[in-house]
Structure 1
Amino acid sequence: MLGPLLGSGYLLLRDAVSTPRSYLTDSALGLGDAAPRAVPQDALIAVGSTVVDGGLLVKAILLTALWLAGWGAACLARDLLRVSLGPQLVAATVAIWNPYVAERLLQGHWSLLTGYAALPWIALLATRLRARSATAGRAGGLGAWAGPAGFLAAAGLTPTGSLLAGLVALLLVGKRNLPVMAALWILSAAPWLTATALSGAGAEPSDPAGIAAFAARAEPWLGTLGSLAGLGGIWNSTAVPGSRTTFFALVATVLLLALVATGVRAVLGAGTDSESRSGAAAHNLDRTGVRPDDTAEPGSVPDADVESRSGTAAHDPDHTIVPPNDTAGRGSVPDGGSSRDPRHDEARVARRRLVWLAVAAIVLPALGATGWGLSAGEFLVTRVPGAGLLRDTQKFVALAVPAYVLCAAAGCRVVGRWISTMVVDGASAASPRARTGGAAVLFLAILFLTLPDLAWGVGGALRPVHYPAGWQRVAGAVDAPGDVAVLPGGMFRKFRYSGSAPVLDPAPRMLKRDVLQTGELPVRGGVVSGEGERARKVENLLLQGGSANRLAELGVGWVLVEGGTPGPMGESKTTLAQLNPVYADRDVQLYRVPGEIAAHDAAAANRRVSGAAHLLWAALLAGGFLTAAIHSVTRRSVPGEAERESHPDHDNAD
């Protein structure tokens, strides 16, 4: 998927901008005129690029995020369904190889995908905390909370990712753990919550035109609801793989939903009778967890794989929700009286909640694209401060993915049983590996078929670019006070070296001083207004040929002209003639505004408060993952600890 991007160069595609070096400007801390939508993302890259090239850092984060998304989906399926390797691979593929990921890659939302990647992990860890509270009366110590803290912070790289992760965590963690989880979420969201409070920009009402502009979009032959159910439907019709622009979008969506549908009954635990029989048969288990016969019927959740038959499941270092050596059988999730461990019930509750969350994540954005839904959205953004964060409703389809991966994994198990029943005289004649292996290969082939052009950088669209040398010279020259104004007007560019897709202006992340941006977004033939009031005044002044003195009064010390890109220039030549040229080539021209420049920097106290919030977030991110890793290594190094913790009567303090 990321093959072309891993070459030399920088990610510069629509909203994605990476540069060799970026800086801790007021905007990077969320203290500029615009709403803090890229907080703490920009601050992280600014600090990290002092050590590692910024382009390499963004690529590493994106690659790690997608890898973690697949790994987390596999672990979620393993823990909540007790499936073997084949279905786990299916779960991982559903999480990575889908239209949501493809469209967000094409839109340049690499940081949103870090929040997306955290969702299966947060679902898994929150369910574990809930299960431990149910069995031991407490969730565990610091080690049990370290993982959720780290993943909440990772998801908090953007405000939307933070909202997604917080919703999943609070939904699954249970009432006893709700206060602690809520506190962790607030800490993980500290940078953008603090920036919103200090700058005030995020608390301003948003342009109601953004509701219709960013509403979910219907893909060919699907309608809005079908597009969202297929994990597609992004508002930008140009940020879509080619296969989703034809009749094949319908075929691909039907195939994906068919795979998911095969496992819905199993994930919901609806097969009460068959599961009860499975639980009754499990009473014949010996203490090692070996089942004498695989009696579960098609549609039930248990997966007695090769490991359980060999007895190795008695030592399960992953400490899953369902202990392999309890009397209900490895991985069985019986309903009612057949469950002897409350953790069975907690796993079932988590699965059901994820399914209903998926339904809401698909239906509500679809309703939001209707006439009355648009009216309701416009009412919210004009009267509720900060509601503009919700205008891109298709983002929230990410909440459906944990349920999709569980249903696909469970469905793989179900189809494996169907295949063995139809092909072999007696399902028991086929080994568990043979039952699921063939089904897994079939599922994987279908998943790849549904989106063939996701391969190799989404059909080659995701490729690195190289900035002309003039950008580095300009970046080195901007070293005196004063903000930077840019020409042509607008925030998006089409450079000769960046391809045909519009790209967000790289200047704000390339230069040491704040670059004024209006926040106006051209969408679907219209313009959605932004929050940058001072930037709007400066842009109008330049396009009208205003005086250099007025620029200085507005705090502008530099004017950057980006050549070779379309956009309004107006009467700016009149203004530029009053400025001092600093550097010029075919790509960029830099001018210095003469005279005394009025200060418009954020207050020092605000920078300190925002900096402290970012440090808190960074400590939660690094400390959470480091503590979780140390705790895991320490626990597993104690002889017999894994076996004791997987016993139903022992507190599983993973």
Structure 2
Amino acid sequence: MARSRSRWTPPLYSLLLSVVILGPLLGPGYLLLRDAVSTPRSYFTDSAWGIADAAARAVPQDAAIAALSTVFDGGLVVKAILLLALWLTGWGAAVMARTALPTAPLPALLVASTVAVWNPYVAERLLQGHWSLLVGYAALPWTVVAALAVRQGRSWWALAVCLAAAGLTPTGALLAATIALVVLALPGGARRGLRVVGALGLAAVASAPWLAATAVSGNGVEQADPAGWAAFAARAEPGLGTLGSLAGLGGIWNSDAVPGSRTGIFALMGTVLLLTVVAFGVRPLIRRRGNPVIVGLGVVALLAIAVPALAATGPGLAMARALGETVPGAGLLRDSQKWVALAMPIYALAAAAAFSRRHRPNPVQPTALSAVQRTRFGSAVAIVALLIALPDLAWGVGNSLRPVTYPASWQAVATELDGAAGDVAVLPAGMFRRFPYSGTAPVLDPAPRMLPLDVLQTGELIVAGGTVRGEGKRATDVQNAVLAGESADTIARMGVGWVLVENTTPGELGESERTLNPLDVVYSDEQLTLYRVPNPMIVESRPATVVVAAHLAWAILLLGGLAVGLLGRIRVRRTHQP
């Protein structure tokens, strides 16, 4: 009975935490907050494949959503994936603790789940709109469990699923691959060399979509804007400094994407509460220093905190800029705080270890039962402390995660463009918007995911009052031409067949009226105005066969691994049936 309770309580508890966090978002509507954009339907554009002008950052995420939204509502898909990610984070932390610490009782497993789900990293990435990064974060504890199974000579299917799921984004792929390779490369277990090579192969397939897209489009060879390293460096929170903020799993670069409780001195108190719970388990883990996996995860956690802290210093920024100038694709590393996710597995294990002393009732020594009760009480206190440390993570991170409803104008414009030729230029200039229906935070323009044609995007970001240059050279040229009031023939020769003006958001319009006045208005209302550019030059799409093949390989790795695991479980159950 106790074993059954230990197996089913953690997933139910993790699901409860996830619903408490995402509550407001689970109603009707769409996620539209900073970098997060969900739409009723997405399309297989060059941008979705990652072979447009800008770097392949949302690959294979956008193509996967485009595929799923042909059957299901795209907003529902994104919300389901996000809920699943948070649920699996907590459940995975409990399974990892039970696997690595066999004596961990149920209360200890619940503490591990709470540490993994209820922390500043989750809150800040939700507020920044990095829902797909949280899928990679969720994969980390499961990756530890799967890699431990491989070390014991068991099946590889679980590791394949973990790496593929994390590979929904490039960062997630790198996070999970790092954990997998560390666990598999450590001494002990079966066939050390073979398992490392196998993990590298699986990681390559999981990363194939963005690697292929980068190779085909050539965007990965562009130097990252030097201004981006300082703009995206980890940030010190009140009373903590950069190192303390990172140790508390906080410190995201955007000071606006932070829960209210982390903007004042309470950030110090919350961090102390979190680190106290973790610290109680450090000594029990040190006693297990003969276990190379625990040692390896501890070293990874220290580096995941120390390196981003060093990267935020003057010498660190200078080294980062030099890296960006010499290493293709190094811009992927510039949001250094996101790598703090690698500390989560050892934090969860330490929290569980603090309450993992096994007490056996003894009728001769009745105090043994009180020791069990003290462990349960201590676990409950730890969980309450973790919840208090970040009270406004509840209910949509202080009700910031609220679904929005798009005006019908978007669907009308999408219908108008269906099957048309030419790319779409958008006004006002820039990639971020403030619509009346999107709240006060800036949001990514939904047009690229809402419309069936490629929408030209410069990739330029406004960060902390400064500008970080994007990779979209052609999009920048088109934007400059429209703002300068160039003729319709000029932008038609640049491959533009349509200009969409988003009327309800502020932004730079320049002399665009001179470009727009001669054009035919195809659709217009209070929200959107769509202009047709006559005789656009059709820009040949880059060859995407290898990119499509890479996406298919990733999907097969994910779905094939799940199928193998499911069939294996069915076979085992049939074998054990009388």
Same fold (TM over 0.5): yes
Answering whether residue 260 of structure 2 is matched by residue 242 of structure 1, we say yes
Deviation at 1:629, TM superposition (A): 2.1
Which of 529, 546, 565 is matched with 1:628 structurally? 565
Deviation at 1:428, TM superposition (A): 4.9
CA distance in structure 2 between the aligned counterparts of 1:67 and 1:89, rounded to whole angstroms = 13
Which of 192, 203, 215 is matched with 2:221 structurally? 203
Given the superposition, is the C-alpha separation of residues 161 and 564 from structure 1 closer, same or farther in structure 2, using an over 3 Å criterion? same
* Cα displacement string for residues 437-468 of structure 1 (whole angstroms, at most 9, x for unaligned residues): 21211111001000000000000000100001
- Corresponding position of 1:154: 165
Deviation at 1:433, TM superposition (A): 4.6
Which of 9, 17, 24 is matched with 2:44 structurally? 24
Equivalent residues in 2 for 1:242-391, closer than 5 Å? 242-269=260-287, 348-391=291-334
- Corresponding position of 2:4: none
Secondary structure of 1:513's partner?
coil
CA distance in structure 1 between the aligned counterparts of 2:226 and 2:566, rounded to whole angstroms = 46
CA distance in structure 1 between the aligned counterparts of 2:236 and 2:459, rounded to whole angstroms = 26
Deviation at 1:367, TM superposition (A): 0.3
The one-letter code matched in structure 1 to 2:238 is P
* Cα displacement string for residues 332-353 of structure 1 (whole angstroms, at most 9, x for unaligned residues): xxx8xxxxxxxxx6xx211111
Given the superposition, is the C-alpha separation of residues 27 and 601 from structure 1 closer, same or farther in structure 2, using an over 3 Å criterion? farther
Deviation at 1:580, TM superposition (A): 1.1
Which of 121, 136, 139 is matched with 1:100 structurally? 121
Given the superposition, is the C-alpha separation of residues 525 and 118 from structure 1 closer, same or farther in structure 2, using an over 3 Å criterion? same
- Corresponding position of 1:164: 175
Answering whether residue 339 of structure 2 is matched by residue 396 of structure 1, we say yes
Given the superposition, is the C-alpha separation of residues 578 and 123 from structure 1 closer, same or farther in structure 2, using an over 3 Å criterion? same
- Corresponding position of 2:144: 123
* Cα displacement string for residues 363-416 of structure 1 (whole angstroms, at most 9, x for unaligned residues): 0000000000000000011111010000000000000000000001111336x9
The one-letter code matched in structure 1 to 2:279 is A
Which of 232, 241, 248 is matched with 2:250 structurally? 232
Given the superposition, is the C-alpha separation of residues 228 and 613 from structure 1 closer, same or farther in structure 2, using an over 3 Å criterion? same
* Cα displacement string for residues 469-488 of structure 1 (whole angstroms, at most 9, x for unaligned residues): 11110111113110000000
Deviation at 1:189, TM superposition (A): 0.7
Contact 1:413 1:439 in 2 (8 A): no
- Corresponding position of 1:66: 86
- Corresponding position of 1:279: none
CA distance in structure 1 between the aligned counterparts of 2:204 and 2:541, rounded to whole angstroms = 24
* Identity %, equivalent residues: 59
CA distance in structure 2 between the aligned counterparts of 1:388 and 1:412, rounded to whole angstroms = 41
- Corresponding position of 1:295: none
Given the superposition, is the C-alpha separation of residues 373 and 489 from structure 1 closer, same or farther in structure 2, using an over 3 Å criterion? same
The one-letter code matched in structure 1 to 2:40 is P
Aligned CA-pair RMSD:
1.7
TM-score, normalised to structure 2, is 0.92
CA distance in structure 2 between the aligned counterparts of 1:67 and 1:381, rounded to whole angstroms = 36
CA distance in structure 1 between the aligned counterparts of 2:577 and 2:63, rounded to whole angstroms = 44
Deviation at 1:429, TM superposition (A): 2.5
- Corresponding position of 1:317: none
* Cα displacement string for residues 267-293 of structure 1 (whole angstroms, at most 9, x for unaligned residues): 2325xxxxxxxxxxxxxxxxxxxxxxx
Answering whether residue 478 of structure 2 is matched by residue 541 of structure 1, we say no
The one-letter code matched in structure 1 to 2:162 is F
The one-letter code matched in structure 2 to 1:370 is T
- Corresponding position of 1:36: 56
The one-letter code matched in structure 1 to 2:524 is A
The one-letter code matched in structure 1 to 2:575 is V
Contact 1:33 1:532 in 2 (8 A): yes
Secondary structure of 2:49's partner?
coil
- Corresponding position of 2:232: 214
Equivalent residues in 2 for 1:7-22, closer than 5 Å? 7-22=27-42
The one-letter code matched in structure 2 to 1:366 is A
Secondary structure of 1:173's partner?
helix
CA distance in structure 1 between the aligned counterparts of 2:169 and 2:574, rounded to whole angstroms = 36
CA distance in structure 2 between the aligned counterparts of 1:81 and 1:432, rounded to whole angstroms = 19
CA distance in structure 2 between the aligned counterparts of 1:88 and 1:637, rounded to whole angstroms = 30
CA distance in structure 2 between the aligned counterparts of 1:393 and 1:530, rounded to whole angstroms = 18
Contact 2:183 2:293 in 1 (8 A): yes
Secondary structure of 1:412's partner?
coil
Deviation at 1:430, TM superposition (A): 1.5
Contact 1:14 1:108 in 2 (8 A): yes
Which of 491, 500, 509 is matched with 2:440 structurally? 500
Deviation at 1:632, TM superposition (A): 2.6
CA distance in structure 1 between the aligned counterparts of 2:432 and 2:477, rounded to whole angstroms = 18
Contact 1:34 1:202 in 2 (8 A): no
Which of 528, 550, 554 is matched with 2:468 structurally? 528
Runs (4+) of structure 1 exceeding 2 A deviation are 425-429, 431-436, 635-641
Which of 87, 100, 116 is matched with 2:108 structurally? 87
Which of 402, 409, 420 is matched with 2:352 structurally? 409
Which of 389, 399, 406 is matched with 1:467 structurally? 406
CA distance in structure 1 between the aligned counterparts of 2:49 and 2:372, rounded to whole angstroms = 52
Secondary structure of 2:576's partner?
coil
Deviation at 1:525, TM superposition (A): 0.8
Contact 1:115 1:155 in 2 (8 A): yes
Deviation at 1:601, TM superposition (A): 3.6
Secondary structure of 1:2's partner?
helix
CA distance in structure 1 between the aligned counterparts of 2:384 and 2:422, rounded to whole angstroms = 56
Deviation at 1:598, TM superposition (A): 1.3
- Corresponding position of 1:76: 96
Secondary structure of 2:523's partner?
strand
- Larger Rg belongs to: 1
Larger deviation, residues 111-120 vs 425-434 = 425-434
Contact 1:72 1:121 in 2 (8 A): yes
CA distance in structure 2 between the aligned counterparts of 1:433 and 1:585, rounded to whole angstroms = 67
* Cα displacement string for residues 631-652 of structure 1 (whole angstroms, at most 9, x for unaligned residues): 13322443399xxxxxxxxxxx
Gaps of 5+ in 2: 1-20, 186-191
CA distance in structure 1 between the aligned counterparts of 2:577 and 2:286, rounded to whole angstroms = 34
Secondary structure of 2:47's partner?
coil
CA distance in structure 2 between the aligned counterparts of 1:629 and 1:219, rounded to whole angstroms = 45
* Cα displacement string for residues 410-430 of structure 1 (whole angstroms, at most 9, x for unaligned residues): 11336x98xx9xxxx968521
Contact 2:233 2:253 in 1 (8 A): yes
Given the superposition, is the C-alpha separation of residues 231 and 542 from structure 1 closer, same or farther in structure 2, using an over 3 Å criterion? same
CA distance in structure 2 between the aligned counterparts of 1:232 and 1:81, rounded to whole angstroms = 27
CA distance in structure 1 between the aligned counterparts of 2:140 and 2:168, rounded to whole angstroms = 13
CA distance in structure 2 between the aligned counterparts of 1:481 and 1:427, rounded to whole angstroms = 81
Larger deviation, residues 168-177 vs 18-27 = 168-177
Deviation at 1:628, TM superposition (A): 1.3
